[in-house]
């Protein structure tokens, strides 16, 4: 995957679609090879590589807007220079292998035998030495050269691309030939070519041309002298795809070399068929079913392919990159579900002695401090391959409102062979039997404890840290919430493409064209769906799912109370659109926007069909006394058993001037308001009621006279 486009900050919808469709091949029946029992040299090497990490978007970065511009250090995509301190910090984090992608593209002299810039290569070698001096296994390669020029190779050895490739690897092989065996060479990152024809014909062309490149690479390195005669070489499949039509082909090629120091590599981002999951397009759960599968099941299929093609044939494997596309955004994924994905990827890798190498583009680890920006995610990524981590079956956020605060909350656990040792709220250890109970691998948070948390301001009221006998800790966040309120907008499109700007081939970036003011009141958005005036789903990713891409098409800002509608979404045609917003607690809201000539006008939709005014005053209890005045603006007289229905974020007790017919969760129905048999059009009625404790921002909404 071209990480400058997809994972520096954000996934490029257009390019990602091309990549995903190119890999959306139909399964074929290929015979599995016979399993071996004794581990080969390449398998032992892969196992010794342990838990791996990519230093992405540094030495593979280049100026996408000006290909003639040689940037002679690793800062082209705004990452800082790689220091010895940073490499030491990665060692301290527990990583055993580093992949340091390298792009030669804009740093070569085409008139001088494709000579690589000495300054750039010297600097690259300096960082490679940092890593080797720390005892890392280090993988070097040619990276974005694959997508920027090698992709156009026609398969002929006389073509410029083939000649350039050989010239580059001749230089790299000679430069590093005397290094120890902890240094390995990978031929080229994610190779595929401009093939035409049916899917089967394109597969055949790509397999063959990847084989030719790998063969040329192999011959150059093995004949370059020094320690390169026995150096570990890493050969990718076509597209670095794991499916059998690619992996079996590469396995056969590797076996034909009869060289124990050759291993295979593939990449995995859970993109086919679950692109909606890897890019958070309405699917964020690790065990959430979509297209008759789940991310967990797809990982199982992935490793089964690796076992069939490589492991059973004694071929070592490095997963040169793994992650999820939307991790390029700061909040583009549900963190707990991402942790489950990473934990399972590593566990399955350990079963086969495969090295997993996490793709880190510069936004997940602070390249200056060496610390993970999200400590929980970091703990999962860096945990040992030899141990499993435990987590909850559901999400890592528990949403509580006034009407549910007194109810027990069950938190089923997936222990993965571990045992629960304790639960902490901050530094305070919870007492079993007082704040929670535990049986049948399920924690039950008692309503008496939950209600003690659900007070005051909306938001996170507790960070419950679950400690297990092994692996990373798990966190459950108790979130006290009300009802989100979306404000109006009426503005021309913003042109601030610095909002999330990054280099891309066509110079595009994702940024907010329109910003809706929001009082989230503790709620968080899980997904959004956009419908046009005909009721049709319309957004940039309808080929992947009905929903919009989280952060790619809409971007919540909970801290500042904003919801950005991004340029990728607002490229829809002028029309009236209804946005259906689903929150993590399961509730929904609707918002209407009108797009007209680069202008957005928007307002929240409501079931409310009349005017009303609510006045609240503190009561002698910890609740409040509420006066609700309603004016009949329905345009008709209401007679014979008319009533009032509404939602309110507080628990209503005594009602004066009406009968409380029903109260379910936060929905109330009042009969006989003011005991008037008729409420004429334009006439008003006033009702008073007492409400329990709640947030000052509690919302009364969806009021309906009927």
Per DSSP, the residues of 88-115 read HHHHHTT--EEEE----GGGEETTTTTE
Confidence bin at 265 (pLDDT 50/70/90): very high
- Distance between CA atoms of 609 and 602, rounded to whole angstroms? 19
pLDDT at 135: 99
pLDDT at 497: 53
- This prediction has a pTM of 0.91
Q: Are 97 and 144 in contact (CB under 8 A)?
A: no
**Which candidate, 653, 642, 632, 628, places its Cα nearest to that of 675?**
642
- Distance between CA atoms of 583 and 278, rounded to whole angstroms? 19
Asked whether this chain's domains 392-480 and 611-705 adopt the same fold, the reply is yes
Q: Domain 3-8+31-386 classified CATH 3.20.20.80?
A: yes
**Burial status of residue 519 (CB atoms within 10 A of its CB: 0-12, 13-18, 19 or more):** middle
Condensed to tens digits (0 to 9), the pLDDT of residues 298-354 reads 999 999 999 999 999 999 999 999 999 998 887 889 999 999 999 999 999 999 999
- Range in 256-270, 322-336, 478-492 the model is least confident about: 322-336
- Which ranges of 446-597 does DSSP label H, i.e. alpha helix? 447-453
In the DSSP assignment, the letter for residue 397 is: E
Taking the alpha carbons of 608, 610, 611, 613 in that order, is the dihedral positive or negative?
Answer: negative
pLDDT at 124: 98
pLDDT at 482: 95
Confidence bin at 35 (pLDDT 50/70/90): very low
The pLDDT > 70 percentage for the chain reads 93
- Distance between CA atoms of 78 and 363, rounded to whole angstroms? 10
Q: CA angle 451-453-454, nearest 5°?
A: 65
Confidence bin at 621 (pLDDT 50/70/90): low
Per DSSP, the residues of 110-144 read TTTTTEEPHHHHHHHHHHHHHHHHTT-EEEEEE-T
pLDDT at 509: 62
Q: CA angle 133-267-126, nearest 5°?
A: 25
pLDDT at 97: 99
In the DSSP assignment, the letter for residue 431 is: P
Identify the CATH class of 392-480: mainly beta
- Distance between CA atoms of 150 and 212, rounded to whole angstroms? 12
The pLDDT > 90 percentage for the chain reads 82
**Burial status of residue 534 (CB atoms within 10 A of its CB: 0-12, 13-18, 19 or more):** exposed
536-557 CB burial, b ≥16 within 10 A, e <16:
eebbbbeebbbbbbbbbbbbbe
Condensed to tens digits (0 to 9), the pLDDT of residues 155-187 reads 999 999 999 999 999 999 999 999 999 999 999
- Angle between helix 375-382 and helix 335-352 axes, rounded to 10 deg: 10
- Distance between CA atoms of 606 and 584, rounded to whole angstroms? 20
SS3 content of the chain, % helix, strand, coil (to 5): 25, 30, 45
Q: Rounded mean pLDDT of the chain?
A: 91
pLDDT at 653: 84
Confidence bin at 1 (pLDDT 50/70/90): very low
* Mean pLDDT for the stretch of residues 606-626: 87
Residue 13 has pLDDT above 60, yes or no: no
Where in the chain are the domains? Answer: 3-8+31-386, 392-480, 485-605, 611-705
Residue 29 has pLDDT above 60, yes or no: no
- Range in 5-9, 161-165, 342-346, 691-695 the model is least confident about: 5-9
Long-range contacts of 495-504 (CB under 8 A, 24+ apart): 497/567, 499/564, 500/9, 500/10, 502/4, 502/8, 502/9, 502/10, 502/77, 502/78, 503/4, 503/8, 503/61, 503/63, 503/64, 503/65, 503/76, 503/77, 504/4, 504/5, 504/12, 504/64
* Residue 3 structure tokens: 């990480």
CATH number of 611-705: 2.60.40.290
* Mean pLDDT for the stretch of residues 112-118: 97
Longest dimension (CA), the chain: 100
Confidence bin at 30 (pLDDT 50/70/90): very low
Residue 232 has pLDDT above 80, yes or no: yes
Residue 81 has pLDDT above 50, yes or no: yes
* Residue 291 structure tokens: 């297209």
pLDDT at 496: 63
Beta-carbon contacts of 21 under 8 Å, excluding residues fewer than 6 positions away, are none
- Distance between CA atoms of 409 and 411, rounded to whole angstroms? 7
Q: Can you tell me which residue has the tokens 């007289």?
A: 637
Residue 680 has pLDDT above 90, yes or no: yes
Confidence bin at 620 (pLDDT 50/70/90): low
Beta-carbon contacts of 697 under 8 Å, excluding residues fewer than 6 positions away, are 458, 482, 519, 521
- Angle between helix 244-257 and helix 295-309 axes, rounded to 10 deg: 30
């Amino acid at each position: 995957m071209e990480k400058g486009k997809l994972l520096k900050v954000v996934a490029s919808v257009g390019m990602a679609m091309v990549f995903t469709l190119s890999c959306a091949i139909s399964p074929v029946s290929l015979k599995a090879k016979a399993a071996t029992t004794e581990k080969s040299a390449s398998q032992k090497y892969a196992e010794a590589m342990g838990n791996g990490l990519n230093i992405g978007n540094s030495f593979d970065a280049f100026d996408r807007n000006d290909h003639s511009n040689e940037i002679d250090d690793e800062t082209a995509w705004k990452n800082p220079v790689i220091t010895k301190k940073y490499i030491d910090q990665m060692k301290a984090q527990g990583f055993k292998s580093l992949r340091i992608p390298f792009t030669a593209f804009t740093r070569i002299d085409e008139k001088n035998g494709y000579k690589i810039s000495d300054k750039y290569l010297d600097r690259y070698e300096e960082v490679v030495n940092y890593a080797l001096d720390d005892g890392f296994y280090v993988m070097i390669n040619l990276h974005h050269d694959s997508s920027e020029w090698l992709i156009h190779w026609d398969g002929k050895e006389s073509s410029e691309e083939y000649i350039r490739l050989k010239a580059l690897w001749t230089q790299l092989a000679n430069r590093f030939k005397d290094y120890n065996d902890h240094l390995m060479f990978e031929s080229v990152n994610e190779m595929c070519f401009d093939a035409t024809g049916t899917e089967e014909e394109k597969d055949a062309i790509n397999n063959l041309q990847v084989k030719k490149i790998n063969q040329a690479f192999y011959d150059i390195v093995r004949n370059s002298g020094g320690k390169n005669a026995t150096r570990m070489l890493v050969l990718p499949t076509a597209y670095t795809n794991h499916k059998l039509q690619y992996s079996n082909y590469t396995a056969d090629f590797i076996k034909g070399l009869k060289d124990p120091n050759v291993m295979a590599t593939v990449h995995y981002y859970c993109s086919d068929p679950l692109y909606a999951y890897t890019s958070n397009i309405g699917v964020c759960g690790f065990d959430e079913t979509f297209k008759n599968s789940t991310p967990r099941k797809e990982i199982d299929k992935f490793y089964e392919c690796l076992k069939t093609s490589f492991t059973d044939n004694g071929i070592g494997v490095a997963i040169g990159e793994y992650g999820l596309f939307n991790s390029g955004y700061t909040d583009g994924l549900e963190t707990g579900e991402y942790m489950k994905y990473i934990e399972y990827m590593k566990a399955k890798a350990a079963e086969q002695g495969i090295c997993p190498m996490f793709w880190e583009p510069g936004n997940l680890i602070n390249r200056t401090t060496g610390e993970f920006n999200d400590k929980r995610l970091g703990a999962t990524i860096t945990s040992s391959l030899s141990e499993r981590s435990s987590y909850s079956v559901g999400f890592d956020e528990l949403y509580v409102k006034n009407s549910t605060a007194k109810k027990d909350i069950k938190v089923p656990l997936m222990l993965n062979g571990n045992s629960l040792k304790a639960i902490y709220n901050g530094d305070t250890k919870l007492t079993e039997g007082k704040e929670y109970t535990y049986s049948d691998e399920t924690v039950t948070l008692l309503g008496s404890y939950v209600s003690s948390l659900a007070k005051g301001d909306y938001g996170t009221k507790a960070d419950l840290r679950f400690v297990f006998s092994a692996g990373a800790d798990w966190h459950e966040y108790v979130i006290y919430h009300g009802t989100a309120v979306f404000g109006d907008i009426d503005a021309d499109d913003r042109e601030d493409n610095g909002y999330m700007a990054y280099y891309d081939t066509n110079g595009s970036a994702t940024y907010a064209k329109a910003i809706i003011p929001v009082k989230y009141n503790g709620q968080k958005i899980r997904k959004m769906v956009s419908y046009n005036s005909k009721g049709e789903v319309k957004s940039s990713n309808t080929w992947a799912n009905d929903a919009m891409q989280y952060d790619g098409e809409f971007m919540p800002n909970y801290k500042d109370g904003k919801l950005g509608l991004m340029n990728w979404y607002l490229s829809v045609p002028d029309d009236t659109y209804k946005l259906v917003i689903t929150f993590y607690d399961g509730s929904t809201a609707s918002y209407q926007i009108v797009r007209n000539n680069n202008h957005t006008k928007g307002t929240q939709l409501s079931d409310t069909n009349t005017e009303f005014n609510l006045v609240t005053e503190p009561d002698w209890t910890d609740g409040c006394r509420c006066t609700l005045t309603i004016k009949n603006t329905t345009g008709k007289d209401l007679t014979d058993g008319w009533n009032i229905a509404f939602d309110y974020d507080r628990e209503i007790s005594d009602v004066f001037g009406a009968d409380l017919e029903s109260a379910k969760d936060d929905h109330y129905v009042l009969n006989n308001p003011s005991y008037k048999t008729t409420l004429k059009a334009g006439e008003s009625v006033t009702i008073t009621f007492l409400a329990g404790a709640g947030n000052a921002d509690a919302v009364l909404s969806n009021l309906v006279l009927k």
